[in-house]
Amino acid sequence: MTTADILLFALGAVAVGAGLLVVSTRHLVRAGLWLVVALGAVAGLYLVLAAELVAWVQVLLYLGAVVVLLLFAVMLTRAPIGTSYDLDRPGWPAVLVGGGAGLGLAALLVHAYRWSTVDLPEPGNAERLGAQLFRTWVLPFEVLSVLLLAALVGAIVISRPDIGKGR
Amino acid sequence: MHPVIPYVTAALLFGLGVYGVLRRRNAVLLLMAVELMLNAVNLVLVTADATVRAVLPATGQVFALFVIVLAAAEVGVGLAIVLQLYRLRESIAVDQVPLTERADDPAPDRAEPHEAVAGVA
């Protein structure tokens, strides 16, 4: 067990524990706050795995933007403060499918990788990633920018009921 | 570094996301569970990038960035739909959305003030 292993194990345990609380807590706002913990732990995993740019993009976009949007939505839909007991559907099919998917995938990956050891890549800067992004993957990158514009326009059209009525 | 640790973490996070999507009634909580699933996929991509020596370097990280952008777009449009649903129905429980509009459904009456506002505008 090296330092990286211990860090990966601890951060993974934090991520899974916080994820369990996200899907099981009875407080709407607390679910969003536990989501912050889970996504932050995943960002820490990215840092250990030498993906620094992805880690900071995760912090900026997920923790900064997505979670704030979700908390805004919780408030705009007038969520009750405190415990609410009508958040869940009957659980057995969800336990079966979710547990089957999670544990099945985990067993598959454990079977594939056993306890093999890999050297971590050098912790570098964003230069290699940027070169790949803007040379090999530049066409998907541009397509993604068009998709973001389409999502922006779509969100505006959906949220304004006076658009598209034919007047 | 043992790659099995982040891989198993990602698998468990994905399972939790699937459980949340199937279990939760509130649409915002459902979107949070979807975010957990997307993060599990990102974790697999980044771990594979760190462990597999591919021909093109950093491909897994590039794809993780793409998935993050897709998640941002998804949550934007998804929350717009959820808020519109709340405006029309006063509820965002996903198992109470009727698939067809009926004449005796009270929901169109609730939608009428917005029609009036739109008419004034």
The answer to whether the beta carbons of residues A43 and A64 sit under 8 Å apart is: no
Q: Name the residue in chain A with its Cα closest to that of B120.
A: A162
- Quick check: B22 contacting A, CB < 8 Å? yes
> Could you tell me which residues are beta bridge partners of residue B26?
B93
- Which tens digits make up the pLDDT trace of A90-135? 888 899 999 999 999 999 999 998 888 888 887 777 888 888 899 9
Q: Directed axis angle between helix B59-89 and helix A67-76, to 10°?
A: 10
**Structural domain that includes position B39:** 4-120
Distance CA B24, CA A143 (A): 33
Is A1-82 CATH 1.20.120.1200? Answer: yes
The count of structural domains within chain B is 1
Tell me which chain A residues have a C-beta less than 8 angstroms from the C-beta of B107.
none
Q: What is the mean pLDDT of each run of 10 residues along chain B (121 residues)?
A: 93 96 91 94 93 83 94 92 86 79 52 46 41
Distance CA A23, CA A35 (A): 9
Distance CA B114, CA B82 (A): 16
The confidence score (pLDDT) of residue B13 equals: 96
The confidence score (pLDDT) of residue A86 equals: 79
Band (A164; pLDDT cuts 50, 70, 90): low
Distance CA A95, CA A31 (A): 19
A127 against A37, higher pLDDT = A37
Q: What is the CATH number of the domain that holds B49?
A: 1.10.287.3510
Taking phi first (over 0 means left), then psi (-120 to 50 degrees means alpha), and beta for anything else, what does residue A166 get?
left
User: Does B83 sit within 8 Å of A73, measured CB to CB?
Assistant: yes
- How much is the mean pLDDT over chain A? 89
- Which tens digits make up the pLDDT trace of A51-83? 999 999 999 998 889 999 999 888 888 777 778
Among A27, A53, A109, the residue to mutate for chain B (most B Cβ within 10 A): A109
> Residue A35 pLDDT more than 80?
yes
For A155, the enclosing helix (H) or strand (E) is helix A138-159
Nearest to residue A93, comparing CAs of B95, B85, B38, B81?
B95
The answer to whether the beta carbons of residues A83 and A27 sit under 8 Å apart is: yes
User: Does B5 sit within 8 Å of A162, measured CB to CB?
Assistant: no
Q: What is the ipTM of this complex?
A: 0.91
Residues near B100 by beta carbon (within 8 Å), at least 6 away in sequence: none
- Quick check: A147 contacting B, CB < 8 Å? yes
- Quick check: A126 contacting B, CB < 8 Å? no
